[in-house]
């Protein structure tokens, strides 16, 4: 069954809705200056209200390793998603501190980008069109990808079934595709999840 990740949660209302809809993962964005940024303190509070069956993922860009490890150790997040210039050594040192799953994000524009992602030593890949552009990329580039990956970038209830059929991802990651006026939309989240699960 294709896994579902809803990213960019920021409120108790968001948590209440995902507790009802039950995606597999949710994401907290710890990148200051981003529209969906949440402070570690607020994320910690929301995490206590999250259904224990839903895993929380922390999204970071070139954050100090100790900062990331601290949120893992505290239990605010259970997995890490890296969107910056973090290299193999960064991941190795993070795993030595906290042996929890790491997702490394890659922007895919060419087959060379796919190959770079394929050889990176993370537990999962996240293959995206760009950071929050809301647009898809050429999914045909992913043919032959032999590693578990999350597909992101421009997904919504109208195209997610085609995405799953075309590239068979481990999981799908959505944020703006289930929002209205910058806020998570219950009906869109419900439609997205129902579409994915009807296909799986």
Mean pLDDT of 113-140: 89
Residue 61 CB contacts under 8 Å (≥ 6 apart), including other chains: 31, 82, 83, 84
In the chain, what percentage of residues exceed pLDDT 90? 90
Q: Per-residue pLDDT tens for 34-52?
A: 889 999 999 999 999 999 9
Assess whether pLDDT exceeds 70 at residue 132.
no
Number of H helices, E strands in the chain: 7, 10
pLDDT of 38 reads 97
**Catalytic residue positions?**
7, 128
Structure confidence at residue 143 (pLDDT): 87
Check if the beta carbon of residue 200 is closer than 8 Å to that of residue 1: yes
Mean local confidence (pLDDT), 124-132: 85
Average pLDDT over residues 99-111: 95
Q: Which residue matches tokens 């597909």?
A: 151
Is 90 exceeded by the pLDDT of residue 74?
yes
Backbone angles phi, psi at 59, to 5 degrees: -100, 125
Residue-range domains of the chain with CATH: 3-199 (3.20.20.70)
pTM over cut 0.85: yes
119 pLDDT above the threshold of 80: yes
Backbone angles phi and psi of 136, in degrees to 5: -85, 170
């Amino acid at each position: 069954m294709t896994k579902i990740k809803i990213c960019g949660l920021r409120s108790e209302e968001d948590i209440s809705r995902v507790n009802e809809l039950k995606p597999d993962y949710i994401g907290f964005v710890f990148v200051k200056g981003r529209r969906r940024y949440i402070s570690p303190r607020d994320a910690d509070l929301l995490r206590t209200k999250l259904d224990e069956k839903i895993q929380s993922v922390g999204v970071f860009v070139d954050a100090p390793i100790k900062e990331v490890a601290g949120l893992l150790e505290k239990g605010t997040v259970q997995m890490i998603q890296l969107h910056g210039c973090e290299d193999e050594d960064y991941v190795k040192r993070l795993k030595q501190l906290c042996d929890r799953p790491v997702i490394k994000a890659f922007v895919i524009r060419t087959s060379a980008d796919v190959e770079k992602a394929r050889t990176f030593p993370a537990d999962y890949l996240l293959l995206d069109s760009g950071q929050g552009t809301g647009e898809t990329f050429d999914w045909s580039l992913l043919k032959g990808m032999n590693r578990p990956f999350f597909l992101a970038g421009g997904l919504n209830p109208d195209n997610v079934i085609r995405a799953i059929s075309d590239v068979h991802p481990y999981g799908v990651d959505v944020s703006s595709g289930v929002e209205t006026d910058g806020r998570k939309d219950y009906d869109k989240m419900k439609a997205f999840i129902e579409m994915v699960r009807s296909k799986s």
